Amino acid sequence: MKDYLDLADLGDDRLEAVLSLAKHLEAHPLGEALRGRTVGLLFMNPSVRTLSSMQAAVMQQGGQAFVVTPGSGSWKMETRNGAVMDGEAAEHVREAIPVLAQYADLLGVRCFAEGKDLTTDLADGLIRTMAGLCPKPFMNLESARAHPCQALGDWKTLDDLAIPRRGGRFVLSWAWHPKALPYAVPASALEMAVRRGMDVTILRPDGFSLPDEIMERARAIASRTGASLRETADRAEGMDGAQALYAKSWAAPAFYGRPVEEASFRAPLRDEWCVRESWFEPAEAHAKFLHCLPVRRNVKVADEVLDGPRSAVIRQAGNRMHVQKALLIELLGGHAR
């Protein structure tokens, strides 16, 4: 594996090996597997967890990292092929990626969806173009359609919580948010859950089905792993017997790229689609609440859930570092044990 762009880049055996290594590294965080290795981190979008957990992961394994944040201390970057660059962006990723690759043994890049054209964003072409421009190993730190480090951390979190892979009951629920958000996290959470072979329910208001391309891909994985996949707008039905509720907001596909109309369509859902403790009544007694963070308190989810015993969000974030250490070692061919 040269590039980690998507959970699918890890075949079943490597996925198990990386999870196993992540578990080992959680117990033994310090090591020398990345001694002498330089990791370059390019953040085209804001970050807290990824920014800090990637640096900590590298440093705790003896390596070193540098960070480039275009627009905040660095030149704004153009991403479109053939662009006539007479606007704000002074640098093109066609130069930036191969240049940075010369200073590092691995690049990690965050580059969110543009939010204009659904087909373009779902094709995830930009992160793939950047990986193609990079002669060194490359990690996707959240792209238009995938957040595969999050997906792997979430997998480990479900394992940690002893929520079964085959047959575990996983609900991916839409939640209200003031902005039309991209599909990277819900697509990756869905892929993770079906790859685990779980019984997956997508709970969302009418008009908020995930795009067909994402659903078809999930169904294809489910058919291989034995996962089940259904959708509903009925909360009681959706939450029935749930072991884990994964909340996330995303844009209504029919209005993609038209934020004003999308906002009008989304507006009436605000109060009903904020996750509250009452949502869990039909669920298993100790059902867990997951979210990738950052989360808008009392908008997407009430304090009572986030501050209560169901919340696994801190553990999820902690697992980001453990799985990223394992991924870095996998990609750089180090030997951690």
Determine the 3-state secondary structure of 127 from DSSP. Answer: helix
Interaction with a second copy in 162-181: which residues (CB under 8 A)?
Answer: 178
**Would you say 140 and 146 are in contact if contact means Cβ atoms under 8 Å apart?**
yes
Among 13, 27, 86, 234, which residue interacts with a second copy (rule: CB under 8 A)?
A: 86
Interaction with a second copy in 266-305: which residues (CB under 8 A)?
Answer: 293-299, 303
> Could you say whether residue 211 binds a second copy (CB under 8 A)?
no
Nearby residues of 217 by Cβ (< 8 Å), 6 or more positions away: 187, 191
> Could you say whether residue 83 binds a second copy (CB under 8 A)?
yes
**Whole-angstrom distance, CA of residue 265 vs CA of residue 260:** 9
> Could you say whether residue 236 binds a second copy (CB under 8 A)?
no
Interaction with a second copy in 30-49: which residues (CB under 8 A)?
Answer: 30, 36, 38, 40, 43, 46-49
Calculate the CA 44 to chain-centre distance.
16
**Whole-angstrom distance, CA of residue 312 vs CA of residue 319:** 11
Among 60, 120, 129, 225, which residue interacts with a second copy (rule: CB under 8 A)?
A: 60
Nearer residue to a second copy within complex by CB, 227 or 323: 323
Q: Considering the complex, what minimum distance in angstroms separates the CB of residue 130 from a second copy?
A: 14
**Would you say 300 and 176 are in contact if contact means Cβ atoms under 8 Å apart?**
yes
Among 75, 128, 160, 254, which residue interacts with a second copy (rule: CB under 8 A)?
A: 75
**Whole-angstrom distance, CA of residue 131 vs CA of residue 228:** 33
Determine the 3-state secondary structure of 173 from DSSP. Answer: strand
Q: Is the peptide bond before 98 cis (omega within 30 degrees of 0)?
A: no
Calculate the CA 150 to chain-centre distance.
4
Nearer residue to a second copy within complex by CB, 100 or 221: 100
Q: Considering the complex, what minimum distance in angstroms separates the CB of residue 102 from a second copy?
A: 4
Instruction: Give start and end residues of each alpha helix (H) in 5-92.
Output: 12-27, 49-60
> Could you say whether residue 64 binds a second copy (CB under 8 A)?
yes
Which residues make up the interface to a second copy (CB under 8 A)? 30, 36, 38, 40, 43, 46-49, 51-53, 55-56, 59-60, 64, 66-70, 72-75, 78, 82-86, 90-92, 94-96, 98-100, 102-104, 178, 293-299, 303, 306-307, 313-314, 317-318, 321
